[in-house]
Amino acid sequence: MPSYKLIYTDNKGRAEVSRLLFALAGQEYEDVRWTRETFQTEKQNLLFGQIPVLEVDGKQYAQSMAIAGFLAREFGFHGKTSVEQMEVDQVIGIINDIFSALIKQFHEQDEEKKADIIKQNNETTFPKFISFFEEILKNNNTGFYVGDKLGFADVAAFDTLSKIEAGINMDDFPLVKANKEKVASNERVAKWLQDRPVTQF
């Protein structure tokens, strides 16, 4: 088994899906959490100067979803067929769309504009994308986004929903809510959720 080192800040951010996959697999890895200052001094040594970075046997790889997709394939949590893999990518695409909207509210400095973006996200943008999740779960009819067992799409959706659900009435999305509870009650995930550092984002 190769050695894995995941480099990010002490936030969930773009690294938590990979951390959840490590937890789900019960796979040892080095969970490196840089301070903002360390990131600034070390970024010149990183591929592309961005985080997260995954080191596999000392070699660096970037792009959060490429990293998570790799780990999902390595640990057997990706789709079993190319159609299932497309179904996983479909969920990841929705997650990327949600993340783009979330980043806008996160980076806005003007308080009034920020409040408008948050309102738009909570009332329109996020519910629209969560309704896509609901439709996928309804069509798949197994309780999971892809296939009939917990995998990459489920933990990725779980992580994203955890970041946005405070402003959403999740009772409007019963299948999404039930899937999220399934992820949280997986023994390994539950242990990670209990043990992981408490961070704001």
Ligand X SMILES: N[C@@H](CCC(=O)N[C@@H](CS)C(=O)NCC(=O)O)C(=O)O
Distance between CA 166 and CA 95 in Å, rounded? 17
CB of 98 to ligand X, least distance (A): 13
Pick 49 or 76: Cβ nearer ligand X: 49
3-state DSSP assignment of residue 151: coil
Q: Which of 73, 38, 51 is nearest to 5 (CA)?
A: 51
CB of 121 to ligand X, least distance (A): 18
Looking at 49, 76, 167, 174, which residue binds ligand X (CB under 6 A)?
49
Backbone φ and ψ of 60, nearest 5°: -90, 140
DSSP state of 60: E
CB of 179 to ligand X, least distance (A): 23
CB of 40 to ligand X, least distance (A): 9
Q: Residues 96-135: x/- map of binding to ligand X (CB under 6 A)? A: ----------------------------------------
Q: Which of 33, 3, 201, 8 is nearest to 105 (CA)?
A: 201
Side-chain-side CA neighbours of 120 within 13 Å: the count stands at: 11
CB of 125 to ligand X, least distance (A): 19
CB of 182 to ligand X, least distance (A): 26
Q: Residues 56-75: x/- map of binding to ligand X (CB under 6 A)? A: -------xxx----------
Q: Residues 13-32: x/- map of binding to ligand X (CB under 6 A)? A: xx------------------
Looking at 32, 51, 72, 164, which residue binds ligand X (CB under 6 A)?
51
Q: At what angle do helices 111-120 and 82-107 cross, to 10 degrees?
A: 150
Contact 180, 142 (CB under 8 A): no
Beta strands, E only, the chain: 4-9, 30-34, 53-56, 59-62
Contact 188, 23 (CB under 8 A): yes
Looking at 3, 40, 41, 50, which residue binds ligand X (CB under 6 A)?
50
Q: Which stretch binds ligand X (CB under 6 A): 47-55, 74-82, 85-93, 162-170?
A: 47-55
Binding site residues, ligand X, CB under 6 A: 13-14, 49-52, 63-65
